[in-house]
Amino acid sequence: MVQDNFLVGDIKGNARRIIELTQSAAGQGADLVVFPELALTGYPPEDLLYRPGFVAQVEQALESIKRAGSDTNIVLGLPAVHQGKLYNTAVWLSDGQCVAEYHKQTLPNYSVFDEVRYFSHGHDTRVVALGEFRFGVVICEDAWEPAPVADAKAAGADAIIVINASPFHGGKYAERVQMLEQRCTENGLPMFYVNMVGGQDELVFDGESLVVDGAGQVIRRSAAFEPAIELIDLTDDGPVAVTQGATQALQPEEAIYNALVLGVRDFVTKNGFSGVIVGLSGGVDSALTLALAVDALGTDNVQAVMMPSRYTAGMSREDAEAEARALGVRYDVISIEHAFEAFLDSLSTVFRGTEPDTTEENIQARCRGLILMAISNKTGRMLLTTGNKSEMAVGYATLYGDMCGGFAPIKDVYKTLVYRLCHYRNSLGQVIPERVLTRAPSAELREDQLDQDSLPAYEVLDRILELSVEQDLPIDEVVKAGFDRETVDHVLGLVQRNEYKRRQSAPGVRITRRAFGRDRRYPITSGYRRK
């Protein structure tokens, strides 16, 4: 079983990697090497599948894999055309020939998945003999339904291979285990679950490939968020793990933190950037973002920039510098005061007779955005935004200001989870000053400003958002969960009014069941009012 990191669209590069990994596994004694779903193209290829010649390149790359073949059998995921239709396909290669094809039957069309947009449904079962054993082959979503596995057993399968591109969210590993245990106990067959690893835009694939025996017991779990080759012997008594390693799932904060690190690393490096810039405010969100960036890319590839104003507290300056020094990154201080004054002077005639309000606050944020983007342009480093899910939900962010940037690492992280992740990171080594975690959060855009001046307490806000955004509960049900109706109405009104902001926000790592972005698609212009 091979879990690896494949780049979407890099068909030739993925083919070379598949050949290398096959040779490595064969050198360790493997008779059968299994790769994840759509490994040859990366997942998800999305509208690349519409490009003229894309599938033709897949076919050419498949021929190169066949030519490099040996006595080793290979199960490989790719898109394939059959009788004029495109299928999400698993091919079984033996001695340089394709001996079987399986077309995915259950195409997910929910959440982040759009497979019905591209692929036709398969209908046939495939069982392939290798030595004394017969293997049924299914693809990802097929295993979540009883029929495809049951049909493979009825066709004579002794074991089931499941190739997957299953993205991470908190708690996903436990869901997979529960599903596999159910399938295995229903059919009395062991299952080999091979998953992809790596970041692809908003999605992160966590690996954690599994072997479950016919009694539903997990006998092998690959490492999370890392490439791995696992050697498994299949005997008359069932599967036996040859390689040793991870068997226990990560704790929640550990898993999420590692997902964020991998998501940042792959987005930045796969898009060819030399490093990143982080606007460091002395607050908790930028503190977590900086730690993630360093853990993802290394000290030398991260630059922190502090941009104080007349409202920036002394402790914010001190804490920002302390974290930058603890992490060893380049640290620059650039005041926005002169730029802010220049904008106020330029606008004085237009603003005559008006009182200061959020306009002036937003000007400060946009001064910072301009400075950070200028440094990004000059250095070739990507700017990371530092907004969290709580802020993005209710619009507590400034377009073309603190929303500037190419990637948003904590976009799907609620504020309360931000604090837990900071504590987790500090458990590995203290880098975030304790005061950052204990002081009241503030945007510091006016005198004595606190987030809670404009928003409910984050413990309240985050729970309302979880019930509404992720679970889609009606307002009455949210209120019944213990919240004041006026507060609920206010929060959900903010969520609805700020869709236009979110539509213009940078992509970020998905770590919840329902992130803003590809799996939550609401109209900007809408007369609907939620009840």
Q: For 324-385, give the DSSP string.
A: HHHHT-EEEE---HHHHHHHHHHHHHHHTT----HHHHHHHHHHHHHHHHHHHHHHTPEEEP
Residues composing the chain:
531
272: CB partners within 8 A, 6+ apart: none
Name the burial class of residue 443, with classes exposed (0-12), middle (13-18) and buried (19+) by CB atoms within 10 angstroms of its CB.
buried
Active-site residue among 12, 20, 98, 104? 104
Q: What distance in Å separates the CA atoms of residue 5 and residue 269, rounded to the nearest whole number?
A: 13
Instruction: Please say if 501 is a catalytic residue.
Output: no
Residue pair 395/494 in contact (Cβ under 8 Å)? The answer is yes
Tell me the CA distances in angstroms from 68 to 35, 77, 177, 207, one per residue in order: 16, 17, 35, 26
What backbone torsions phi and psi does residue 12 show, to the nearest 5 degrees? -65, -45
373: CB partners within 8 A, 6+ apart: 383, 404
Q: What distance in Å separates the CA atoms of residue 4 and residue 8, rounded to the nearest whole number?
A: 13
Instruction: Please say if 132 is a catalytic residue.
Output: no
Residue at token pair 């990507």: 382
Q: What distance in Å separates the CA atoms of residue 394 and residue 451, rounded to the nearest whole number?
A: 12
Active-site residue among 115, 140, 184, 226? 140
Tell me the CA distances in angstroms from 113 to 50, 109, 466, one per residue in order: 16, 5, 21
Instruction: Please say if 531 is a catalytic residue.
Output: no
119: CB partners within 8 A, 6+ apart: 79, 86, 87, 88, 104, 107
Looking at residue 249, the DSSP 8-state letter turns out to be: P
Residue at token pair 């237009």: 350
Instruction: Tell me which residues are annotated as active site.
Output: 37, 104, 140
